[in-house]
Structure 1
């Protein structure tokens, strides 16, 4: 028996190939994958053969935004039934390092993340018809939650973690630079957390309209000279992953304000207006993935936040190359691979 999987072999080279069907061992769960969302890191692997410093050195199955149904499980797994809808946590952490024990497992240096070339051999990802992971990474979906909506759980967790890094946002004026999927989901998380005025900047009207759907109050075109930027904001969350976006945050945030960098910047050195960080006493915080927020993020998507309008395109697994090229189009937002949803 075999399953199909999407494999990136090098830059601009993706194929759908057959693999032996994986079987769960002790403490493991096999998931029939329904949907996989294409992330910015997946796009970097496809277009560049690398995501930041992580270079593809062997064929890589990408994908870490994974939902599906329980297919089978090994000895020692309890509380799951075949056919149950679930989301898959993409990270396997060690649980014993200083970061894991200190409550920051997202910083675990031994973490193995689905679809990542950070280690060799690479950690194969979820763009496959069947995925096997340890049972502790399986999160049953709330009753009535669709697999399609649940496919946003991983990127929303990234945004949710960034907003938590920002601290108390109640009533605050917040600028979000970048209205891609993470930026838009950051807006949704800010709105749910009772932020005050939310301003969003981007280069395209289509992206800004997506941010408006999630609750943005003020839309700013970053590429237009006549754009009326605010004099200052209380907080800024940089989600574009660009130097200009970060510098906009530095210029715009008030003295003693805070900036959270959640967008992944290009590899190497990024030029910033560093003296403004000093003379304004700005706090600049990084936000790396997530870990403990996954369950809460799923519940929020199921009950309070309808982020499904951000899903702009859906492609079959066999159309993986079309899906990657569509996801790179600025007119797209969240692009899903429909891997086996028709059977669920």
Structure 2
């Protein structure tokens, strides 16, 4: 007999509610995980505000969330994998394994791939903002005992950042600009510092995330239109565009030296956006897209476990999930918050930050 799980379900713009839903019976190679923390991502906010995220449009009720960590409640019946009581992070992607992208080692570009809390396919893929969920063993990563789960709550966005930095090639000793100090941009700063970048400059509209960027290793921060900053805000070897705005893309092309790299990380709106192509051509820039991640998730979990990477400064709030509307409103205000975590389950299980 299945038991019930409390889940945060989106039905349309602004239609977010906690609902009791049955937990399916796990297959031999699946575990049941009690989710403890869930990070609110930009895509979650888009579903909440617009009922869609990019080209993914809600047509049915869906459990949100893909940045989740928890504790194994029930081990896989086949006896393999982590045992009950093990803290785990959950890799949110599942790929087909057989298409041309998967066989070429680009499983994150699988056209038939699934991602937790995504309306890209129908039926939609339910997410991890739920008290208990069934997870295939291959998507579960055991975490070390004794390290607070909060340290791993940023594993998924950090993997996006790790993959983006990989897209740029070697960053050792390079002069680097990061445009947009949201959670991904901030995680990129930390990864760049870990990888031995020479100088890291971060640009954002708001003072609060720029303060966090400096804590994570940025050498200098700047705001667009800041007086006197223009002459020093050019000739970067590599620029990471993390704002997802046409203005940020233009700034990236302008600020990068001839022969340099621009990595586009922030999601631009669907359809055409203005792009200074002539400048990109005459400067012979390498323009790369960066989309999600694959094996980087394991490297990030290791870096977080060892303490090499500490992303807790990016977590600004941990809010009991019964207060989900306030959490989503706060997460949608970048001047006030970076990463907002939901404490999932009974209130006493996670201390509010």
Correspondence for 2:172 among 148, 158, 170: 170
- Name the CA distance, whole Å, in 1 between partners of 2:250 and 2:331: 26
Correspondence for 1:275 among 260, 274, 278: 278
For this pair of structures, how many residues does the alignment match? 344
- Name the CA distance, whole Å, in 2 between partners of 1:189 and 1:74: 34
Indicate the SS of the match to 2:181: coil
- Name the CA distance, whole Å, in 2 between partners of 1:325 and 1:187: 26
- Name the CA distance, whole Å, in 1 between partners of 2:229 and 2:259: 25
Correspondence for 2:343 among 334, 338, 342: 338
Where does the alignment leave 5 or more consecutive residues of structure 2 unmatched? none
Deviation larger for 28-37 or 267-276? 267-276
Output aligned runs, 1:1-344, within 5 Å: 1-228=3-230, 229-303=232-306, 304-330=308-334, 331-340=336-345, 342-343=348-349
Aligned partners of 1:203 and 1:223 also within 8 Å: no
Indicate the SS of the match to 2:63: coil
Aligned partners of 2:64 and 2:126 also within 8 Å: yes
- Name the CA distance, whole Å, in 2 between partners of 1:101 and 1:21: 33
Write out per-residue CA displacement over residues 5-24 of structure 1, whole angstroms, 9 at most, x where no aligned residue: 10111111111111113332
Aligned partners of 2:76 and 2:137 also within 8 Å: no
Write out per-residue CA displacement over residues 219-272 of structure 1, whole angstroms, 9 at most, x where no aligned residue: 011253543342310000111111111111100101111111111111221101
- Name the CA distance, whole Å, in 2 between partners of 1:174 and 1:74: 45
- Name the CA distance, whole Å, in 2 between partners of 1:26 and 1:35: 26
Aligned partners of 1:77 and 1:135 also within 8 Å: no
Shift of 1:33: 0.1
Write out per-residue CA displacement over residues 272-313 of structure 1, whole angstroms, 9 at most, x where no aligned residue: 111011111111000000011111101112221111121111
- Name the CA distance, whole Å, in 2 between partners of 1:225 and 1:132: 53
Deviation larger for 211-220 or 97-106? 97-106
TM-score by length of 2: 0.95
TM-score by length of 1: 0.97
Shift of 1:119: 0.2
CA-atom RMSD in angstroms? 1.3
